[in-house]
Chains A and B, each alone.
Chain A
Amino acid sequence: MHARGLVDGQEFLVKHANGLANGVSELQQLFPAGSNVEDSDALPVIWEKPEEFAAAIDKAVAATQKFVAAAESGDKEAISSAFREVGGSCRGCHDTFRVPQD
């Protein structure tokens, strides 16, 4: 809602942009070799093509950092375009590395 410009609240947006960036920055550590156990939506390709997976996460990390900067600037255009990039990086990973969701 905030990123879409439907409601105002810059402080709130900055806080959550940071939360997002912090969470995403740890993604790289969440899928170590051997973590492909039990029922999971993670596809085996994560461990088969670790370089591609790491590159996809790098993209998400960069996009969320840019989103934090945009949120801090308060520029609505920049916020919207940075969030679009975040979305693209989310899809970039979910496309290839996650079991399609119903």
Chain B
Amino acid sequence: MIASGARRLAIAAGLLLQGAAGAAGDDLIAKGKYLIHAGGCITCHTEDADGAVPLAGGYALKSPFGTFYAPNITPDKETGIGNWSDEDFLRAFYEGTNPEGDAYFPAFPYTAYSGVRQDELLAMKAYLFSLEPVRKEIPEHDLPAFMSSRLAARAWQLSYFEPARFEPDTTKSSPWNRGAYLVRHLGHCGECHTPRGTLGALLQEQELTGNPEGADGESIPNITGDRKDGIGKWSLSDIEYFLDIGMLPDGDFTGGSMSDVIEDNTSHLTPEDRMAIATYLKSLAPED
């Protein structure tokens, strides 16, 4: 009797501990969920098909360099990231390599993500690991012969990848800095809105001036503060509202890939974060 009472007590204490950890974990998971939206993960890691499970991969990113198939990032141990440690996860973002040490192609935007804070990345991992594992095999990338090996990705990294750390600019406001972090790093807006050089590296001196030859043949607009070609005539509130529901200042509604970005990413952000993005974009020097 005594023994079993003690065992029961131990179990009760264990459950209490578990309950406490669960509560802290819930906050972390909620934070991670927000960041997964802000990071635009869903748009690429979800197949473009009716009934596709979010984040289970399979989306075909058609680029001028070939077709990349986004991996399954649900916690399935065989086809997803269920076996990844925290270190594996961080290495993907900070070094652009998979757990085996092979280099990722920059279709996975680690060039931008390497500026994301470590605690935020681990919150994102906690959210991903709270999801139902989905067993889903993803096809190999369909790339031209000279790019078919991971060595090509490694060579690219040696030339073009400099892990970026986000350093706040103390001469600027805190919304500006928050916006810079969201635009340049977590939200990786430049991946579509900044033009690319011949080997696909972003031309950062032309940050966000648009890419006439975007993925899927889409022409991507200039979103700097230029009054003629960019969004210089949009008010901060116009930008915030656009990122919320997709309405342009003339009352038309956007379509194309930005529609997915709004649905999966920016409409889930707080109004303050959308205003921060607007503040940063409006500050960018006009460029033609």
Name A residues whose Cβ lies closer than 8 Å to a Cβ of B: 4, 6, 83-84, 87-88, 90-91, 93-96, 98, 100-102
Contact = CB atoms under 8 A, between A and B. Distances in A.
A83 B219 contact: no
B285 interface: no
Interface stretch (B77-85, B98-106, B166-174, B252-260): B252-260
Contacts of A4: 237, 241
Contact of A87 (B246, B256, B260): B246
Of A83, A88, A100, A102, the most chain B CB neighbours within 10 A belong to: A100
Contacts of A88: 245-246, 263
Interface residues of B, number: 18
A100 B218 contact: yes
Contacts, number: 45
Given A6-B237, A91-B262, A95-B259, A101 B245 contact: no
Contact of A94 (B221, B253, B263): B253
B95 interface: no
B219 A94 contact: no
A6 B219 CA distance: 32
Nearest to B247: A87
B219 A100 contact: yes
Contacts of B221: 102
B219 A91 contact: no
Nearest to B248: A101
Interface string B149-174: 00000000000000000000000000
Nearest to B219: A102
Given A4-B241, A91-B263, 4 more contacts: A95-B259, A100-B256, A101-B252, A101-B255
Contacts of B226: none
Given A100-B218, A102-B219, A91 B241 contact: no
B245 A95 contact: no
Contacts of B245: 83-84, 87-88
B287 interface: no
Interface in B198-252: 218-219, 221, 237, 241, 244-247, 252
Contact of B244 (A84, A93, A94, A101): A84
10 contacts: A4-B237, A87-B245, A90-B246, A90-B253, A91-B259, A94-B255, A94-B256, A95-B260, A100-B218, A101-B254
A47 B219 CA distance: 25
B256 A95 contact: yes
Contact of A91 (B218, B237, B253): B253
Nearest to B260: A95
Nearest to A92: B259
B48 to A, nearest CB: 11
A84 B247 CA distance: 9
Nearest to B267: A84
Nearest to B255: A94
Of B237, B247, B253, the most chain A CB neighbours within 10 A belong to: B253
Contacts of B252: 101
Interface in B17-76: none
Contacts of B241: 4
A78 B262 CA distance: 21
A61 B218 CA distance: 29
Nearest to B217: A100
Contacts of B246: 87-88, 90-91
A90 B242 CA distance: 13
Contacts of B253: 87, 90-91, 94
Nearest to B222: A102
A101 to B, nearest CB: 7
